[in-house]
Amino acid sequence: MSSIKDVAKHAGVAISTVSKVLNGYPNVSEDTKKRVNDAIRELNYVPNTIAAALSSKQTGRFAILINLNTQTQAIDEINMQYLSGAMNKARELKLDVITIFYSMLQDKSLDEIIVYLKSQSIAGIIIYQMSKDDTVLKELIDSQEFKIVVVDSYIVNENTSSVWVDQARAQYDVAKKAIEGSDVHNILYIAGKENGFVTEERIKGIKQLAKDLKLDLRIEKGEFSELQARNITMQYGKDYDVIVCASDLMAIGAMNALTEMDVYHPVCGFDGITLMGYVGKQMHTVKQNFSHVSGEAVNELRELLSGGVGRNVVLDYELVRLKYEDIIC
Amino acid sequence: MSSIKDVAKHAGVAISTVSKVLNGYPNVSEDTKKRVNDAIRELNYVPNTIAAALSSKQTGRFAILINLNTQTQAIDEINMQYLSGAMNKARELKLDVITIFYSMLQDKSLDEIIVYLKSQSIAGIIIYQMSKDDTVLKELIDSQEFKIVVVDSYIVNENTSSVWVDQARAQYDVAKKAIEGSDVHNILYIAGKENGFVTEERIKGIKQLAKDLKLDLRIEKGEFSELQARNITMQYGKDYDVIVCASDLMAIGAMNALTEMDVYHPVCGFDGITLMGYVGKQMHTVKQNFSHVSGEAVNELRELLSGGVGRNVVLDYELVRLKYEDIIC
DNA sequence: CTGTTAGCGCGTTCAG
DNA sequence: CTGAACGCGCTAACAG
């Protein structure tokens, strides 16, 4: 492994000069800049991230915080897209990433978590799938010890940005598509988790739709659980012309209930997970571009890391929508 | 953040002494050891991984190399289990992990990859889902620049270990369960990818079963593709009493084909992905404990990193089998 | 048994 | 515009 020292020697300049061209500092003549760059290329040199992190203290190292222990593995797909989206963008921006699971922070105090992250020279964090029940995370954010970007949740302070897509609009849109062409007078909406940010946003969306189309609307909380959606549908399903769910899994539960009751109504899900293609029923859903959202989160984090102040970033829904799908199998 | 210097001062000893108790070196009196530990606790001190890595050169930093760009997202579930299994074990062994996707190494030469990894102070790599087509990875292994553990594939050299479960036995076992109680005289086996290690092992297993039970056996390569499995089943399915597939996805394809042809034969998959529970058909499968396998891989990597020599580790199938399932929906 | 010293690879003043 | 010198937090000989 060639180090910065080798490059300096090879280019016939001082180490600090190499460092300057590496980090795009001014006050380096075009001539030496070129010599240095040539040396870098010839030696196949890549700066040692670790050493840079140690030295600079103002690193581009950040952690991706992913929640794994949720009800079902169906969301692995979403997590993976978050992961790869963030990592690709990180590479593009030359940031350093490490992956952390919620489970690794469990039964740790706030202090321990902070110390752990600092010991890793972590400067920023991107948090996915956060719910209001994650009190330690909330404290972590409030502590403002790190630059943080929260995806699909709304918390903003000096050092914290939120990045989310317009869930209300998305819900409005997909539900509208789902009922297109049917004679619909009322909607059964099965919402997500109590206190969930996306849950509330989506409820706004469906309420707006009901209002615009002058439809009756019943809202039940389904906790993102397939079983609960099933039970709710069993109870109310046959009285409503369409069932709109805040997740695909719940849509599957609802559809199964309908099938069992031998009634047919359109069912609409949310997220567009692969599973939807395998249940053998026709349903509607939206597929979000999670990789893209995640990339935007990294962008925002970089802003924060380079001195930006926390803010609320609402991604245009059009940008993250992959496609509507009528999924049939 | 308190550093080792603070601890030394607080305990009234030299920095190196702190380092020694930290790393469990001998030649430190019980008395000072205690004083140091007290200071560590009081200051809430955690060693800086980054600095340690820089200094020691003999790091416990390793990379998890995951393949994402495969045919279907159904394997996200498996990847996630690999990931979390490895990370948890890494934490247990106090090793440092970073996650890398195959896609991040694409269109990179061997040299570039090596340099990149070295620039991250990476000493070891765990490779999942490797196929024989990944020539650059093969070169990476041959270069012996890193300690490497290959999961579910067989490559061993001085610095490379293989960790795999007894796929032959697993395939034998699950297929046997699948045909239990049926009057079976022949088997259609839909295998995985040409040249794949697990593919070949599983074929051994099914051959053994056919031999033991004196059954006719037809083997077709399905490339782990649902569609190919479907086509193969269309062609040969009705002539065979049972269809055994090397993956769940292929089992689904096969089952769909049978349904379309309106014939019923038992179908047997492999891996036990969640999807299996949603297709509404009864099938057999084995669920492997991928997290555990991944943890074992980390164990083996640690062996290598601490001077061990590459070897072949065959995990007892019993240890990694989660359960047999007759999946019905 | 303990303290001193010299780096690891790099960023960053501050004189030239 | 350039380079010597120091330090980041830690490990590893080497003295004492």
A216-269 tens-digit pLDDT: 999 999 998 999 999 999 999 999 999 999 999 999 999 999 999 999 999 999
pLDDT digits (tens, 9 = 90+) for B16-65: 888 888 888 877 888 888 888 888 888 888 888 888 888 877 678 899 99
Beta strand extents in B211-318 (DSSP E only): 216-221, 242-245, 267-268, 283-288, 312-315
CA–CA min distance A98, chain B (Å)? 5
3-state secondary structure of B90: helix
Residues lining strand C at under 7 Å (Cβ) are A 1, 3-5, 15-16, 18-20, 22-23, 47-48, 51-52, 54-56, 58; B 12-17, 20, 26-29, 31-33, 51, 54-55, 57, 119
**d(Cα A175, Cα A169) in Å, to the nearest integer?**
10
Cβ-nearest to A54 among B54, B77, B91:
B54
In this prediction, residue B329 carries a pLDDT of 39
Beta-carbon contacts below 8 Å between A and B: 117
- Predicted confidence at residue B324, as pLDDT, reads 58
Query: Sorting pLDDT into bands at 50, 70 and 90, what band is A16?
Result: confident
- pLDDT tens digits, residue range A120-138? 888 899 999 898 888 999 9
Given this model, what pLDDT does residue B328 score?
46
Q: What mean pLDDT is reported for chain B?
A: 88
Distance from CA of B257 to the nearest CA of A (A): 13
Q: Span B294-315, mean pLDDT?
A: 93
Question: Any residues with CB less than 8 A from the CB of A295 and at least 6 apart, and which?
Answer: A85, A86, A88, A89
- In this prediction, residues A161-179 reach a mean pLDDT of 92
Query: How wide is the angle at C-alpha A55 spanned by C-alphas A50 and A60, nearest 5°?
Result: 60
Cα gap B80→A102, rounded to integer Å: 13
Chain A residues in contact with chain B using a Cβ-Cβ cutoff of 8 Å: 1, 44-51, 53-54, 68, 72-74, 76-77, 79-80, 83-84, 87-88, 91, 97-101, 103-104, 111, 115-116, 118-121, 252, 273-275, 278-280
Among B290, B246, B288, B287, residue whose Cα is nearest residue B268: B246
Q: Which two tokens stand for residue B26?
A: 């001998």
Q: A80, B73: Cβ pair inside 8 Å? A: yes
Q: What per-residue confidence (pLDDT) applies to B311?
A: 96
pTM of the model: 0.89
> Contact, A219 vs A192, CB < 8 A?
no
Averaged over B157-169, what is the pLDDT? 94
Chain B interface disruption, residue of A103, A278, A279, most B CBs within 10 A:
A278
pLDDT for A131 equals 84
Domains in chain A and their CATH numbers? Answer: 4-165+292-316 (3.40.50.2300), 167-287 (3.40.50.2300)
Is the pLDDT at A270 greater than 70? The verdict is: yes
Across the range B89-97, mean pLDDT stands at 88
Bridge partner list, A157: A160
